Amino acid sequence: MAEMIARDNQVLDVVRGLVTQKVFEEIEAELNNSGAVYNFKIVDKAHGAPEDFGFSLGDIFVEQSTGPCGDDHSGSICFPLPDGRFMQCEFDC
């Protein structure tokens, strides 16, 4: 668990260096609203459907599935980055 948190923090540090403070705060706000987020990475291609959340760098891509009870969700979120790549993470809520 500690290793995963350290890797996630390294990815967030890279992202922090690629975007403005305002954009990083938007990413943090969206992550805080997404339940448990983990497995951060930088990817070349987004997964999921584009969603317009008013994010400064464009649509956020969300791939989501619903659990058997219908009240739990999991999937991935991809945030566009200024260099054409995406920051991807997984979520459970």
Q: Which of 6-15, 51-60, 61-70, 79-88 has the lowest mean pLDDT?
A: 61-70
Query: What's the pLDDT score for residue 42?
Result: 97
Residues 6+ positions from 23 with CB-CB distance below 8 Å: 56, 57
What's the pLDDT tens digit per position in 23-53? 999 999 999 988 789 999 999 999 899 999 8
Which range marks the domain in which residue 87 is found? 2-92
In which element (H, E) is residue 50 found?
A: strand 49-51
Q: Is residue 11 a contact partner of residue 41, using CB atoms and an 8 Å limit?
A: yes
For the chain, what is the domain count? 1
